Amino acid sequence: MKLPPLCVLLFWLAACPVAAQLQPGFDKQEYLDLMTVSAQVGDSAYRAALPVADGYSFRYRSPVVGLENLWELYLREDGVAVISIRGTTQRSESWLANFYAAMVPARGELTVSDEYTFSYQLAEDPRAWNSQDSTNVFAHHFHPPYIYLVERLPDDGPNNAGTMPTDEAFSGTTWELEYFPEPGSVLGDLFPEKQPRITFDAEAGRVEGNSGCNGYSAPFVLEGGKLSFGEPGPTTMMYCGEGEGYFLRTLARVNGYRIDGSANLLLQAGDATLMRFKPVE
């Protein structure tokens, strides 16, 4: 899959005695630094305006392989390594790879091994593609638009895209579903009467709410960044379509959570967001 010219991967060099473990979450300054690293791969007109951030040193550039692909290795002064992968070039085979990439579903799974399947989500709408402008499908292909948006995020330190609430923060808040990525469906079609809601009772260790149709309750376990739900108890018996079943089965898959920058509750399986709820009370 060909990538835009801003794809960077980080990993920790455990052998380095001064290295510090990478932390989960989003760090605004780190993101901006990585944009400067990524901008060095290629011949973009803005490359000279984005010199490499302090603390990053170039170590290696790979040969060109496959569909005009190559990668560069940078080392950060704290022992974190950065792999920067080149995106599109002007050669036709490089552009062909972009159209291969457009055929990748917005949400799906990759089987890495018999023991591990990686769930990914590239967009909220499963029908999403590169751009809503059919005359310019690569409108968001370059560094400056990303930098423009990130610079407008609040400066509140590492992990400023989300926080981990305490048990007490959960209690007393009712959350209403506003994003549910069931393939081929939209929220209003799955839940035509009302959106599912969930309320946590930390003292009792249970959640209750509605599944878009019937009421339900279930036990939950909250430990650090881990969250899981037990088997729901009996619900009322009204039938309201397939949405309820999708919702309850998705709830059973949850093993993590976070609160995003807009105070929404994200229920996750690994790194993939399964559902997003907004606070209503």
Q: Write the pLDDT tens digit of every residue in 124-133.
A: 666 665 454 5
Residue 71 region by backbone torsions, left for phi larger than 0, else alpha for psi between -120 and 50, else beta? beta
CA–CA gap between residue 30 and residue 82 (Å, rounded) = 11
Is residue 132 one of the residues assigned to a domain?
Answer: no
Answer whether residue 3 shows pLDDT above 50.
Answer: no
Residue 124 region by backbone torsions, left for phi larger than 0, else alpha for psi between -120 and 50, else beta? alpha
Give residue for tokens 């370059």.
142
Answer whether residue 10 shows pLDDT above 70.
Answer: no
Same domain, 185 and 141: no
Q: What is the DSSP string of 25-94?
A: S--HHHHHHHHHHHTTSS--TTGGGSPPPTTEEEEEEPPPBTTTB-EEEEEETTSEEEEEE----SSHHH
Chain centroid, CA 210 distance in Å: 26
The domain that holds 216 is classified in CATH as: 2.40.128.270
Is residue 108 one of the residues assigned to a domain?
Answer: no
Answer whether residue 164 shows pLDDT above 50.
Answer: no
Helix pair angle (143-150, 28-38), 10° resolution: 170
Residue 31 structure tokens: 């993101």
**pLDDT, tens digit, for every residue of 175-189?**
999 887 655 556 777
Is residue 122 one of the residues assigned to a domain?
Answer: no
Same domain, 172 and 270: yes
Same domain, 146 and 169: no
By mean pLDDT, which of 92-96, 158-162, 170-174 is the weakest?
Answer: 158-162
Contacts with 78 (C-beta within 8 Å, 6 or more apart), sequence order:
18, 19, 20, 55
pLDDT, position 75? 93
Q: Is pLDDT larger for residue 164 or for residue 219?
A: 219
Is residue 109 one of the residues assigned to a domain?
Answer: no
Average pLDDT over residues 145-157: 75
pLDDT, position 59? 94
Contacts with 162 (C-beta within 8 Å, 6 or more apart), sequence order:
25, 26, 258, 259, 260, 261, 266
pLDDT, position 146? 83
Amino acid at the residue 69: N
pLDDT, position 63? 93
Same domain, 189 and 83: no
pLDDT, position 263? 79
pLDDT, position 15? 38
Same domain, 34 and 142: yes
pLDDT, position 72? 93
CB atoms within 10 A of CB 27: 16
CA–CA gap between residue 171 and residue 196 (Å, rounded) = 17
pLDDT, position 19? 42
Average pLDDT over residues 200-219: 87
Average pLDDT over residues 254-278: 83
pLDDT, position 18? 40
Same domain, 174 and 143: no
Q: CA dist 54 to 13, 18, 76, 250, Å?
A: 19, 18, 9, 44
Same domain, 77 and 171: no
Q: Please state the length of the chain.
A: 281
Is residue 130 one of the residues assigned to a domain?
Answer: no
Of 150, 172, 206, at which residue does a domain stop?
A: 150
Same domain, 167 and 254: yes
**pLDDT, tens digit, for every residue of 38-83?**
888 765 566 777 889 989 999 999 999 888 888 999 999 888 899 9
Mean pLDDT of the chain: 76
Helix, strand, or coil here: 95?
helix
Same domain, 97 and 197: no
**pLDDT, tens digit, for every residue of 232-249?**
766 656 677 778 888 888
Average pLDDT over residues 117-128: 72
CA–CA gap between residue 202 and residue 206 (Å, rounded) = 7
Same domain, 25 and 143: yes
Partners of residue 136 on adjacent β-strands: none
Same domain, 257 and 171: yes
Q: CA dist 148 to 82, 153, 154, Å?
A: 22, 10, 13
Task: Provide the domain limits for residue 141.
Answer: 7-102+137-150
Report the number of distinct structural domains present in the chain: 2
Q: Are 257 and 227 within 8 A, CB to CB?
A: yes
pLDDT, position 99? 77
pLDDT, position 103? 77
Whole-prediction pTM value?
Answer: 0.48
Q: Could you give the angle at the alpha carbon of 53 between the alpha carbons of 164 and 31, nearest 5°? A: 25
